[in-house]
Structure 1
Amino acid sequence: GLFREHMSFFPSRIDANDPYKLADVAATLTTGSPEELQAILEDNDAESRLHKALVLLSKEREVSKLQLEISQKVEEKMSEAQRKYFLTEQLKSIKKELGMEKDDKDALISKYRKKLADYGGKDSIPAEVMETIESEMEKLSTLEK
């Protein structure tokens, strides 16, 4: 990736035996704050300078590990949700194919027709009202799921 490419560029440009330059390069590879980076540049003690750079690199490593964990968990949850959705859709399709499950709107229309029958059927309801009911049920049957 980009990091490897970035790193392959450095050896030709840096003397790895110079602890000051090594600390500076290490610090630039982090997302340290300007204050943290400035503190490294201002430190004249090689061991202290390297230690500060190491602390920044360690923080960077921890942040990267956390980001990786989070992205893996998110990916797992998304994969699980997609899997569940796919299986649910397959189950619906199989039930429909076997005639075990009616479409939701078909079930609703059947429920309304049963209620109409319970009230005495079409004959007990005024024609205008029945016309409106039939029209609305027709609309319902053509709606997308």
Structure 2
Amino acid sequence: MRPTVRLFLVLALTTTACAGTHPSDRPVSGVQPTSIGSDQPVEVPEDAVDHTGTDRVVVAVTDNAFEDRVIVVDAGTTVVWVNEGRNDHNVRPAEEDRRPGWFREVPKAVLADGGAGSVTFEQAGDFPYFCSFHGTARRGQRGRVIVVPG
């Protein structure tokens, strides 16, 4: 076996063995694409974190990132964004068409200096968002809340 192949196998096995089993670490492979408010199915990405079955989810806002970036929640779940970074942040909906269920921006003033802002997602849907200080709707600091019927 070549050294690079051996190294790859060791790294792959180590990563697999050390993977977390905390419920918030589990991928959302069991969630099926769902038609929400339109004729288009919602594709759940592989890196989505399943938070279904909980009433409240905390998303850390760090410098230039949302952790977890993509979450799946039940309708009626409250998502709380907490600024754990040094910079100013906001949480702005990526789409401005104001379909039913869309949320209002969580402004910089609410997230200043470790602040927290929340939104309760009552309606199923796909809700992409971003921080307008560190990204746009298409790139940079962005995230997504996928809400499935409860």
Q: TM-score, normalised by structure 1?
A: 0.26
Task: Please identify which structure carries the higher strand content.
Answer: 2
Larger Rg: 1
Task: Please identify which structure carries the higher helix content.
Answer: 1
Q: TM-score, normalised by structure 2?
A: 0.26
